[in-house]
Structure formats: C-alpha cells, structure tokens
Amino acid sequence: MTATWSKLRDYFSSAWRTDPAERKLVRKIDFFILTFCCLSYFLNYLDRSNLANAYVSGMKEDLGFQGDQLNQINTCFTVGYVLGQIPSNLSLHYVKPRHFFPAMMVVWAGLTMVTASTHTPQAIMAIRFFQGIAEATTFVGTHYILGSWYTERELGKRSGIFTASGLAGTMIGGFIQSGIYTSMDNRHGLRGWRWLFLLDGIITLPVALYGFLLFPDTPATTTAPYLSRAERELAVSRLKLHDPLLGSDHAGNNQEKAPATSPLTWTFAKRVLTSYEWWGFVILWIIAGETESFSSNSLLALYMKSSPSTTYTVKQLNDYPTGVPAVGIVSTLFWAALTDFLGGRRYLVGYFIGVTGVATSGMILAAKAKGTDSTAVVFAAYYWAGTVYACQATFFAWANDAMRYREPVFRSVVLAGMNLGSNAVNAWWSIVFYGASMAPWFERGMYAMIATSVALAVWTAGLSYVSSKAEKRGRVGGTRSPVREEARKAGESG
C-alpha cells in the first residue's frame, strides 16, 4: 500500500523527472500550450453547446423550428467539420500552428456573432456548415501538438485536462445562457439567445490574439521568446531520451520538421491506409463517438423540454443538464490519470464505457415502461452517461502512444481520420436515432446505444490485442518504449 501511494505521489508531483532543466521546460510548455488550447477548446464547446441552450431558451419559437431542424443544423455543422479534418491537420505542417489556430478562431467567432442576426433555421444551417470547417482542427490539431511535445508518461494527464476544458464549456454554457436570459432578454430589442451568440464571439477574440503571440508551435520549429535555445534543444532531445527510437534510422522521420516536399503521395496514402493504426483507431473512434450520443445530442434538455410529467422553467432547462458535462469532467480526469499511472492501459476505458452504455440505456427503457413518475431514474441515467466522455482523452492518447515511432504527418493524418470517421457517421446517426421529434424517450436510440456499447467493448479487445502484438514485435527488435516497460515492471512489483 505504501509503495502504491509513493508511486501516486511521484506521478502527480512529477518527481520521476529528475532533471531541473526538464522540469522547468515542462512547466513552461504546460502553461503556454495548455492555457491556449484549453481556452480555445472551452470556447469551441461553448459555441457548440449554446445552440441547444438557445433552442430551449426561445430560439425554437422565435424562428419557427419544425420537426428535426435542430438535428439538421447539427448535421450541417458536422459535414463541414468532417470536410475540414484532414486538410486542417495537414495545414499544420505548412502554416505555423500559432498562426493557423488563431486564424480559425477569428473565423468561427465572426460566424458565431453573425448567428445572432438570423431569422430562419436555414440561415443557421449555412452558417454552421462553415463554422464546422473553421472548428475542425481544434480537437485533433491539439492532440497532434500534445503528442509532439509530451512523452508517453506525460500525455494522458494533459489530454485529460484539454478534453475536460471542452466539457467545462458545455457545462458553463447552460449557466451563461440562464444568466443572459434573466438579465439581458429583450435588452436593446434583442432576445437573450441572440445576446448569447454575440457574447460568445466577442470573448473568443482575445484568446486568438494570445495564441498568435505566445503559442510555441512544435519542438523543432518553435521560436517562442520564453524558451531559450537550450530549452528548445532539450524539448527535442528529451523525447529521444524517453523514446530512444526517435531520431534512429527506423523512426528518424519522427523529427518535428516541416516537410521539404509534400507528403501527399500515393505511396504515403497507401502506407497510411494499409496500417493497423488507421483502421484500428479510426473505427474505434467511430464507435466510441456514438457512445457519447446521449450527451452530444443534448437528450436530457430535450427530455425536459417535452417532459411527460413536469413543466420546467427556462432556467431549469439550462441549468439541470449542466450536471452531465460536470460528471464528464470528473470521469475524464480520473481515467486519464489512471491510465497514465497504469502504464498506458488506455483500452480499459472501452470496457467501462461498454458497461455504462448498456446500463444507462436499460434504465431509460425501464423508465419509459414504468410511466411518468420515473424522472429520477431518467436524470440518473443521463448523468451517469456523462462518464463516457472519458474516451476522448484516453483514446486519442492511446493513438498517440501507438504511433510514437511514426513520422508526424502520419500521426496527424490518422488523428484527423479518427475524428473524420466519427463525425461522418454522426452526421446521419443523430437524425436517425436521436431526432428532436423522438423526445422524450428516444427509444430507437436506446437500442442503438446498447448495440454500440457492446461493439465498442469487442473492438477495444481486438485492437488492444493487435496493438500489444505490434509492441511485442518492437520489443523483440529492441524497440520497446522504456517508459512503458518501467511502468509495466512497477505495476507487477506493486
């Protein structure tokens, strides 16, 4: 027990990192990378979630929404998001991230403010399509950056903090809308939901400026003024120290350098499309992404909006669903830290989510069968379902771990492909199984969730086996990561 607590203390205090210069470097990049990326993702999710907040706060009635038009707007966003995935991530190899990320933020901030002037659902559909393109690089682009700066032992915790910031945007969005509706509705002739979009766009601009001035790009291309030349060299060399294959003949392409020639060749495409990483992790995230459907489609808010037994106020419609992302934040940070501590066993989250999806769907189906006095069961199910958000940080960290010895452009394409595949399916999945007209019970969606959760557990088992075999082949050839080996031995001895 004492040994376990000692290992936990070392992990959270980073006592295992003995070089003072490395500790100082990591503190600096933690501050400048995580503050910008987390604020950016927070605002990104604030923008996405506030469409649903606006919908239940008067936009539905003001603009005359019919049927599943809310889901159609989300689909338009998703189509743009899908189209932007791989081009956006590839752009990071030609345009400095500190230029590209802020530029996209300014575009989506402008489109968010324009949404405040709309008068039809169709106008919002057009705006959200282009917003999807602008927001496409935030999630996968940041995971690419995190994988470029952090070692395997550091990655899960940072991925968890980043993902939790997006969930915080979802959570706080409800409280913001509730406050705006109370204090600003009809001020200067504008409804509260219109003020929401204006303010969302305005607060994004200072963060974009901060990123333009201080984001550090990648280790081998950084010109950040707060990093000395020695620290820039250390940023590259420490990755080789923790993962010795970096820089060798086998993995020398993993240097973070802008390519001298375009990597977009048929040979490169064939190498990506015939790799286990592409098919394994893209399909993993396609399945896992749909296990988030209860939360990503705001089912609790829609359940409350059309509740069979209770009439909720606008404040309640915005405040009560915030418990879902709050649970997601706790779950994300817990699993990210735990899988780091367990030596990168990210696959464990897949089994947890499989159980959660089956259980929460069963609870809602049982509540429907029971009748109208089952509100507590429904709320409990949706709050519990928020824990599945843990898969975002852990599965992208798993992919980064598995591609540690691949060149950066390969890794960026696979990470983008994961999100592309998930959102391509989600573009129609949400309409078929979770349309707003199916509220309050979404019975078809409950059965879809059970099937998806079982599929995730099965696919996780298969991918962990294939990934383990690939790692063992590397170990036989003398290429096993010493960090993971150290964690494995520590776990066996503990």
| pLDDT tens per residue, range 154-207 | 888 888 898 888 888 777 877 776 787 778 878 888 888 899 899 889 999 999
Sequence ranges of the domains in the chain? 19-493
- Give the Å distances, CA to CA, from 193 to 75, 114, 318: 21, 13, 12
Question: Are the CB atoms for 170 and 303 separated by under 8 Å?
Answer: no
Instruction: Tell whether the torsion through CA atoms of 27, 32, 36 and 41 is positive or negative.
Output: negative
DSSP3 helix / strand / coil % (the chain, rounded to 5):
80, 0, 20
Q: Please determine, for residue 258, whether its predicted confidence score (pLDDT) is greater than 50.
A: no
- Residue 14: predicted pLDDT: 54
CA distance 361 to 368: 11
CA distance 385 to 478: 42
CA distance 128 to 131: 5
Max intra-chain CA distance, the chain: 71
Q: How many of the other CB atoms lie within 10 Å of CB of 109?
A: 22
Q: What's the half-sphere exposure (Cβ side, CA atoms, 13 Å) at 134?
A: 21
Mean pLDDT for the stretch of residues 314-339: 88
Classify domain 19-493 at the CATH topology level. Answer: Growth Hormone; Chain: A; (1.20.1250)
Mean pLDDT for the stretch of residues 325-348: 89
Q: 370: exposed, middle or buried (C-beta count within 10 Å: 0-12, 13-18, 19+)?
A: exposed
pLDDT digits (tens, 9 = 90+) for 450-459: 999 999 999 9
Q: Please determine, for residue 133, whether its predicted confidence score (pLDDT) is greater than 70.
A: yes
- Residue 361: predicted pLDDT: 96
Question: Are the CB atoms for 47 and 172 separated by under 8 Å?
Answer: no
What tokens does 164 get? 């939790």
- Give the Å distances, CA to CA, from 18 to 10, 111, 244, 364: 11, 47, 18, 51
- Give the Å distances, CA to CA, from 269 to 66, 283, 320, 369, 407: 43, 18, 46, 50, 13
- Residue 4: predicted pLDDT: 52
Element (H, E) at 393: helix 390-402
Q: Please determine, for residue 373, whether its predicted confidence score (pLDDT) is greater than 80.
A: no
The structure's pTM equals 0.74
Mean pLDDT for the stretch of residues 386-410: 88
Average pLDDT, the chain: 83
Helix axes 408-434, 390-402, angle to 10 degrees: 150
Q: Is 389 strand, coil or helix?
A: helix
Opening angle at CA 309, ends 303 and 311, nearest 5: 75
Q: Please determine, for residue 46, whether its predicted confidence score (pLDDT) is greater than 50.
A: yes
Q: Please determine, for residue 54, whether its predicted confidence score (pLDDT) is greater than 70.
A: yes
Q: How does 185-205 read in b/e, with b if 16+ C-beta sit within 10 Å?
A: beeeebbbbbbbbbbbbebbb
The closest alpha carbon to 47, from 176, 234, 208, belongs to 176
Question: Are the CB atoms for 218 and 145 separated by under 8 Å?
Answer: yes
Helix axes 390-402, 276-290, angle to 10 degrees: 180
CA distance 255 to 277: 19
pLDDT digits (tens, 9 = 90+) for 454-491: 999 999 999 999 988 887 775 544 444 433 444 444 43
Mean pLDDT for the stretch of residues 260-268: 67
